[in-house]
Every structure is written in structure tokens, then in C-alpha cells.
Amino acid sequence: MAPTPERFAKILRVLQKRQPTLTVLMDEVNKPHNLSAIVRTCDAVGVLEAHAVPPSGGKLAEFEGHTYDATSGSAHKWVKVNKQTDALAAVRELQGRGFQVLATHLSQRSVDYREIDYTRPTCVLLGAEKWGVGDGAAQAADHNIIIPMFGMVQSLNVSVAAATILFEAQRQRLAAGMYAAPQLAPADLAALAFEWAYP
């Protein structure tokens, strides 16, 4: 069915603000409500595509829309999640495409997440709820970043950490005018508009 003119205008407005140079890599994030919440935040800040290494032993179907829960809203329809088999390989592949990879990981070289320039092509690497980001991927990352914590508990929920960092990226990109003009190439924007309008 053809979309209404209002619906099509909204699709165009959203695509005109999509940020193909901002992404996340979820390394074995295994709770569907966390995955859903992260994808919803991705949609809100304009992430075009996200990446995820499924949890060990997890079913591939978990990343094909079956286990997104109500926490996602309908965000999983608008943010493609690419399956990756290995976090370290995905980090290297993204770096090869010019992305800086920021591992959310406490280490000797960790910096406050606000010290980073998010106007550069950026991937935020998020870790599993139980054991965090793997050491290999954290070492290969361009930076290790942390959200400073002053409480009794050592870490935030992964979706809260993702939102905190992605909205800092949004703040910097807004200031740099990166939402004022389309970041997608015209042909890609047109192809996606067609895909979204006629799912």
C-alpha cells in the first residue's frame, strides 16, 4: 500500500538526518530488552546501521527481529542490525572503512567519553552484561572510553551507557551541522526511502 504524503515526508525527514558514519557494535549483548533499548536509541540519534555479535550459543534468529521486545518501539524496523561473527574481526573491518572504534572498557588507557571527537566516523563498542568487552577487541580499539561513576555500583546498564555516549555524539554532531544536511548519498537516500515506504 502506498504511504500517505505525510508518512512519506516523515520518512524523508528521518533519512535526511541519518548518520551513516555513526554506529555501534554490540559484543554479545544477550538480553533482548537491552538490545531493543540500544536499537531504539540508535534510531533516535540517527544511526543508520548497527552491528552485533550474537551471544555464544545464541540463535541467529535472535538478531532477525524475533526477540526485539516492546522496549524497541518499532525501532528495529528502521535500524538494520548487521550480524558479525567475531568482535575483533568486526573492529578491524570497521577501522579499515575509516571508523574510529571506541571500546567502552575500563583500562589503563581509558579516557572520559566526553574527550572524544564524535564528528569523526565512529563506532561505539558495547560489551556483554556479564563480562564486558573482550580484551582483544578492547586492545584493538582506537580508544577505551568510560562514563565516570561515583556510586557504589561499578557499572551502568549497557543500554544506559549506550544512550549516554550516543547522545554526546548527537550533541557534537548537531553543533557541527551534521544533521542540517543529508549525510547519505542521494541515491542511497532514495533507495532507502523506497524500501521504508514499501516494506
CB of 35 to ligand SAM, least distance (A): 12
CB of 20 to ligand SAM, least distance (A): 22
Q: Find all residues with CB under 8 Å of 132, minimum gap 6, and list them.
A: 104, 105, 155
Question: Cell match 555500583: residue?
Answer: 153
Residues in the chain: 199
Give whichever of 15 and 133 is closer to ligand SAM, judged by the CB atom.
133
Residues found near ligand SAM in the complex (CB under 6 A): 104, 126-127, 129, 131-133, 146-147, 149, 155-156, 158, 161
Question: 103 with 133: CB under 8 angstroms?
Answer: yes
CB of 40 to ligand SAM, least distance (A): 16
Q: Classify burial at 114, counting beta carbons within 10 Å of its beta carbon; exposed 0-12, middle 13-18, buried 19 or more.
A: middle
| Alpha-carbon gap, residue 172 to 144, rounded angstroms | 19
CB of 129 to ligand SAM, least distance (A): 5
One-letter identity of residue 136: G
CB of 53 to ligand SAM, least distance (A): 13
Please name which of 144, 98, 148, 139 lies closest in space to residue 122, comparing C-alpha atoms. 98
The pair phi, psi for residue 22, each rounded to 5°, is -130, 125
Give whichever of 160 and 189 is closer to ligand SAM, judged by the CB atom.
160
| Alpha-carbon gap, residue 91 to 101, rounded angstroms | 7
Give whichever of 15 and 141 is closer to ligand SAM, judged by the CB atom.
141
Give whichever of 91 and 184 is closer to ligand SAM, judged by the CB atom.
91
Give whichever of 53 and 133 is closer to ligand SAM, judged by the CB atom.
133
